[in-house]
Amino acid sequence: MLGETLVSAAAIAERSAEVASAIDAAYAGADRAPVLLCVLKGALIFTADLSRLLRTAVEVDCVSVRSYGGGTASSGTVDLVKGATGDLRGRDVLVVEDIVDSGHTAAFLRRHLGECGARSVRLVTLLDKVSRRQREVVVDWSCFSIPDCFVVGYGLDYDERFRNLPDVHVLHVE
């Protein structure tokens, strides 16, 4: 099942540092620390690494959403399993995603965070499967655009497995 490495840990580290610099520039002069909002569980590892590359002082919070069963395609409906712990009213929120695929999750989160009263919402993603988009969403920073294949590792799972692999691999699903 587990296929070739698509994005290596070394490539992730190098590209994340570039993206972190761009994020630092975007938030330079912010009057209050932005909130890095990790989208559990897939973005756990990316958030941990990215946060340590930022020079910007940030707060970290998490949300948990569900759009997948055990399969490999979005159901199109997104549920908020757990909201942020902190009050996001008036805050600059940077959503940290593992992957933007259909765009349903990102669109849902942008709307939800707007309803929470966030002052600004930006989104950074490790991976972007541009060709799979069903909803148009703004992705402010993307580390890697990838082809239409199912991937695991560096936080991404298939049925809760493979999250702890250091590299991103293609998964061959039947």
Residues that bind ligand IMP (CB under 6 A): 42, 67-68, 74, 97-106, 150-152, 156
* Strand (E) or helix (H) holding 125: strand 120-128
Binding segment toward Mg ion, per CB under 5 A, in 7-15, 95-103, 120-128, 132-140: 95-103
* Cross-strand partners of 153: 156
Burial class of residue 8 (count of CB atoms within 10 Å of its CB; 0-12, 13-18, 19+)? middle
The nearest distance, CB 55 to Mg ion, in angstroms, is 26
> Nearer to Mg ion by C-beta: 2 or 44?
44
Does the footprint of Mg ion cover residue 155 (CB under 5 A)?
no
Query: Which residue is nearest to Mg ion, using beta carbons?
Result: 42
Q: What span, in angstroms and rounded, lies between the C-alpha atoms of 173 and 158?
A: 9
Asked whether position 103 contacts Mg ion by CB under 5 A, the answer is no
CA distances from 165 to 2, 29, 115, 162 (A): 11, 37, 35, 6
- The interface partner of residue 74, options being Mg ion, ligand IMP, none and the CB cut-off 5 to 8 Å by kind, is ligand IMP
Structure tokens at 29: 């002069």
Question: Are the C-beta atoms of 153 and 45 separated by less than 8 Å?
Answer: no
Minimum CB separation of residue 17 from Mg ion in Å reads: 23
- The answer to whether 15 and 49 are in contact (CB under 8 A) is no
Q: Which is nearer to ligand IMP, 27 or 104 (CB)?
A: 104
Catalytic residue numbers, as ranges: 101
Query: Cα–Cα distance between 105 and 75 in angstroms, integer?
Result: 10
Residue 42 within binding range of Mg ion, rule CB under 5 A: yes
- Please state the closest distance from residue 92 (CB atom) to Mg ion, in A: 22
Contact residues for Mg ion (CB under 5 A)? 42, 98
